[in-house]
Chain A
Amino acid sequence: MANQAMPFSRSEMLPPEPPPGSAVGVVGWLRANLFSSIGNSILTILALALIWLVLSHVWPWLAHAVWNADSYAQCRQIIADTWGPDAGGACLAVIRERWKQFMFGFYPIEAYWRPTLAFILMFVALAPILFSALPRKMLWFSLIFPGLAYWLLWGGSIFVPIVIYAGFAAGWLGFHLGARASAAFVAPLLAAVFALVWWFFIASPLINLLPDIGLMPVQSKQFGGFMLSVTIGVTGIAFSLPLGVLLALGRRSDLVFVKAICVGFIEFIRGVPLIALLLVASFLLNIFMPPGTNFDIILRVIIMVTLFSAAYMAEVIRGGLAALPRGQYEGADALGLNFWQATRLVIMPQALKISIPGIVNTFIGLFKDTTLVAIIGLLDPIGLITSIRANAAWNGMVWELYGFVAVLFFVCCFGMSKYSQYLERKLRTDHR
Chain B
Amino acid sequence: MAITEAHSREPFRLGMLLYDTRYRSITIQIIALIAVLTFFGWIVHNTVANLHALGKTFDFGFLGQRAGYDISQTLIPYTNDSTHGRAALVGILNTLLVAFLGCVTATIIGVFMGVLRLSSNWLIARLASVYVEMFRNVPVLLWILALMAIITDTLPAPSAFRGENASASMLFGDTVALTNRGAYVPWPIFGPGWQVVAGVFILSLIAILLFRRYAHARQEATGQALPVFWISLALFFLPALAADAVVGAVTLDVPTLQRFNFEGGGLIDKSLVALWFALALYTGAFIAEIVRGGIQAISRGQSEAAGALGLRPNRIMSLVILPQALRIIIPPLISQYLNLTKNSSLAIVVGYADVRATLGGITMNQTGRELECMLLMMGFYLLISLAISSLMNWYNSSIALKER
Contacts and interface: CB of A to CB of B under 8 A. Distances in A.
Interface stretch (B103-111, B135-143, B205-213): B135-143
A417 B137 CA distance: 8
A287 B371 contact: yes
B134 A410 contact: yes
A364 B138 CA distance: 10
Interface stretch (A12-20, A141-149, A253-261, A328-336): A253-261
Interface in A151-195: 183, 185
B49 A371 contact: no
A287 B44 CA distance: 9
B228 interface: no
B149 A33 contact: no
Contact of A288 (B29, B47, B139, B343): B47
B18 A286 contact: no
Interface in A395-429: 398-399, 402, 405-406, 409-410, 413-414, 417
Nearest to B33: A257
B356 A275 contact: yes
Interface stretch (A76-84, A98-106, A125-133, A277-285): A277-285
Interface stretch (A66-74, A111-119, A196-204, A266-274): A266-274
B51 A279 contact: no
A50 B127 contact: yes
Contact of A284 (B137, B139, B374, B381): B374
Q: Is the interface of A mostly helix, strand, loop or mixed?
A: helix
Given A276-B377, A287-B50, A413-B138, 12 more contacts: A50-B127, A257-B32, A273-B381, A275-B356, A276-B356, A276-B378, A283-B370, A283-B371, A288-B46, A399-B149, A402-B149, A410-B137
8 contacts: A50-B127, A51-B127, A255-B28, A272-B385, A274-B342, A289-B50, A375-B346, A417-B136
A33 B141 contact: no
A368 interface: yes
A280 B346 contact: no
A34 B374 contact: no
A2 interface: no
Contacts of A279: 360, 374
Contact of B127 (A47, A256, A257): A47
A372 interface: yes
Interface stretch (B85-93, B115-123, B178-186, B249-257): B115-123
A387 interface: no
Interface residues of B, number: 55
A37 to B, nearest CB: 9
A211 interface: no
A275 B338 CA distance: 15
B18 A371 contact: no
A337 interface: no
Contacts of A414: 133, 137
Nearest to A374: B141
Contacts, number: 150
A160 to B, nearest CB: 27
B343 A409 contact: no
A398 B28 CA distance: 57
Contacts of B389: 267, 271
Interface of B: 18-19, 25, 28-29, 32-33, 36, 43, 46-47, 49-51, 53, 119-124, 127, 133-134, 136-142, 145-146, 149, 153, 338, 342-343, 345-346, 348-349, 356, 360, 370-371, 374, 377-378, 381-382, 384-386, 389
Given A33-B122, A270-B385, A402-B142, A413 B370 contact: no
Given A47-B123, A402-B146, A287 B374 contact: no
A138 interface: no
B123 A34 contact: yes
A33 B121 contact: yes
Given A255-B29, A261-B32, A288-B47, A406 B142 contact: yes
The contact size tier of chain A is: 35 or more
B139 A409 contact: yes
Contacts of B134: 410
Given A271-B386, A279-B374, A375-B348, A47 B124 contact: yes
A292 to B, nearest CB: 9
A276 B124 contact: no
Contacts of B123: 33-34, 43-44, 47-48
A44 B124 contact: yes
A36 B386 CA distance: 48
Nearest to B121: A40
Nearest to A254: B25
B374 A289 contact: no
A362 to B, nearest CB: 13
Interface in A200-242: none
Nearest to B50: A287
A97 interface: no
Contacts of B138: 368, 406, 409-410, 413
A8 to B, nearest CB: 37
A296 interface: no
Contacts of A287: 46-47, 50-51, 370-371
Nearest to B342: A273
Q: Which 8 A-B pairs have the closest CB atoms?
A: A271-B385, A33-B122, A413-B137, A273-B342, A368-B139, A273-B345, A257-B29, A283-B370
B230 to A, nearest CB: 19
Nearest to A382: B141
B16 to A, nearest CB: 12
Given A34-B122, A40-B121, A271-B386, A258 B342 contact: no
A197 B299 CA distance: 60
Nearest to B53: A291
Given A271-B382, A273-B342, A273-B381, A371 B141 contact: yes
Nearest to B137: A413
A290 interface: yes
Contact of A291 (B46, B140, B377, B384): B46
A207 to B, nearest CB: 27
